């Protein structure tokens, strides 16, 4: 049985994710989608409601199910799936989780990656973060949580561009590219955005089932940004410039890698510096294996490696994208190379 893709919609307070979610729910292409939000009262759904299906579930005009989360996300996802199996609610083939009241998307991602029952039914498809074009720069300066939301995203949605100065918008887009060069930056005018632009952002396209490694990994974009800013884009020290502490880089190796050694190195990194490993995504050419491994981690939690059914193209290099806070590229590469080289003695990154 195939797993159900889950999109996590995050963004700082006032960044426009409620407006975006409303627009998405009204889109005909969002039929057969279940949406988990904290409280119905926080989002204007009156014009979308059709009828109550159960105590916590309503059916929308577009065919979406909208459900409240009262407490534990795991219980909500389990209950939703159970009701689907029993026929108590209509079939759904996708879930969107809106993180109202949650500044950090990591707990939701951890749940999707670590809970056995949830993981057997659902899979993380992508993280979408809304960013306010008017006050987004000040928000990033003042709130480390907003920086983290943008840094870990697979898609960045720039909102309120119609209210912002075009020159400032371009400057802000440049800052977002430096912060998260692997995430496409999409513009939402009045919250309107084609759902296809932000869905299917994960490793597998739910429509085709073909591994979209490049679309998921975006390693080339990260590498290009790193090459152009390795020595130059950091500003003078400013305690409010939270994103100066965040780095994105790609660990690339041409030859097949000894997988147990790499796994040990990644485990050592997550156990010692997990809080500052915001996200890790990669494709690994493991020695002795014909097919690639896909790896994915968030902070202390690593998803079990997945063997892909095919290489996406002729490129057989190992490529691992790291998004880190207060950990530089040299520290990560030195640790991993020290373990990968026979007889090497690694030292912990500082």
All domains in the chain, ordered by first residue:
4-197 (3.40.50.300), 213-340 (3.30.1220.10)
Residue 343's pLDDT is 39
What pLDDT, on a 0 to 100 scale, did the predictor assign at position 58?
Answer: 84
* pLDDT exceeds cutoff 50 at 232: no
Query: What span, in angstroms and rounded, lies between the C-alpha atoms of 94 and 6?
Result: 6
Alpha-carbon torsion 135, 104, 153, 41, what sign?
negative
Cα(216)–Cα(85) distance, integer angstroms? 30
Among 14-23, 128-137, 174-183, whose mean pLDDT is lowest? Answer: 14-23
Tell me the per-residue pLDDT of 275-325, one tens digit each, with 9 for 90 and over. Answer: 999 999 999 999 999 999 999 998 888 888 889 988 988 999 999 999 999
Percent of the chain with pLDDT over 90: 45
* Cross-strand bridge partners of residue 96: 7, 35
- Percent of the chain at pLDDT exceeding 70: 87
Tell me the per-residue pLDDT of 116-169, one tens digit each, with 9 for 90 and over. 888 889 988 999 999 999 999 999 998 888 999 999 999 999 999 888 899 999
pLDDT of residue 248: 93
- Does the pLDDT at position 348 exceed 50? no
Query: Residues 230-253: what's their mean pLDDT?
Result: 70
Which residues share a beta bridge with 127? Answer: 8
Whether pTM > 0.75 for this model: the answer is yes
Instruction: Give the pLDDT confidence of 26-39 residue by residue, as tens digits.
Output: 888 888 899 998 76
Report whether pLDDT(176) > 90. Answer: yes
Q: Give the β-pairing of 122-132 and 155-159.
A: parallel
237 pLDDT above the threshold of 50: no
- CA–CA separation, 172 vs 174, rounded Å? 5
DSSP assignment of 219-260 = HHHHHHHHHHHTTT-PPSP-TT-GGGGEEEEEEEESS-B-HH
Average pLDDT over residues 171-195: 90
Q: Residue 251: what pLDDT?
A: 96
Nearest to 180 by CA among 210, 150, 135, 211: 150
Q: Return the pLDDT at 344.
A: 40
Cα(19)–Cα(7) distance, integer angstroms: 16
Measure the CA angle with vertex 258, ends 254 and 263; round to 5°: 110
Rounded to whole angstroms, how far apart are CA atoms 323 and 84? 37
Within 125-218, residue ranges assigned H as helices are 136-142, 144-151, 166-179, 213-217
User: How far is 50 from 58, CA to CA, in rounded Å?
Assistant: 7
Residue 292: what pLDDT? 95
Question: Considering the chain, what is the average pLDDT of its residues?
Answer: 85
Q: What is the reported pLDDT for 39? A: 61
pLDDT of residue 46: 63
């Amino acid at each position: 049985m195939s797993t159900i893709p889950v999109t996590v919609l995050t963004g700082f307070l006032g960044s426009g994710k409620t407006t975006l979610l409303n627009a998405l729910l009204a889109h005909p292409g969002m039929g057969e989608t279940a949406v988990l939000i904290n409280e119905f009262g926080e989002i204007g759904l009156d014009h979308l409601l059709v009828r109550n299906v159960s105590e916590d579930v309503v059916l929308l005009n577009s065919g979406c199910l909208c459900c409240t989360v009262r407490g534990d996300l795991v219980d909500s996802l389990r209950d939703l799936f159970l009701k689907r199996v029993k026929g108590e609610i209509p079939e759904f083939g996708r879930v969107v989780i809106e993180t109202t009241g949650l500044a950090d998307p990591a707990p939701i991602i951890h749940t999707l990656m670590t809970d056995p029952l949830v993981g057997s039914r659902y899979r993380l498809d992508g993280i979408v973060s809304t960013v306010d074009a008017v006050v987004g720069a000040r928000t990033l300066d003042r709130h480390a949580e907003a920086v983290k939301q943008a840094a870990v995203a697979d898609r960045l949605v720039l909102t309120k561009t119609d209210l912002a100065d075009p020159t400032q918008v371009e400057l802000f887009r440049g800052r977002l590219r430096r912060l998260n060069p692997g995430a496409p930056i999409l513009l939402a005018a009045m919250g309107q955005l084609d759902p296809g632009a932000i869905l299917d952002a994960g490793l597998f396209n739910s429509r085709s089932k073909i591994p979209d490694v490049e679309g998921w990994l975006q390693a080339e974009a990260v590498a290009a940004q790193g090459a152009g800013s390795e020595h130059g884009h950091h500003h003078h020290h400013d305690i409010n410039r939270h994103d100066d502490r965040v780095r994105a880089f790609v660990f690339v190796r041409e030859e097949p890698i000894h997988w147990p050694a790499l796994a040990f190195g990644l485990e050592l990194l997550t156990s010692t510096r997990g809080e500052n490993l915001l996200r890790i995504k990669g494709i690994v050419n493991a020695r002795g294996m014909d097919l690639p491994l896909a790896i994915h981690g968030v902070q202390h939690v690593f998803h079990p490696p997945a063997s892909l059914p095919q290489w996406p193209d002729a490129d057989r290099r190992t490529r691992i994208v790291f998004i880190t806070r207060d950990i530089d590229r040299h520290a990560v590469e030195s640790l991993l190379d020290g373990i990968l080289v026979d007889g090497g003695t690694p030292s912990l990154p500082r």
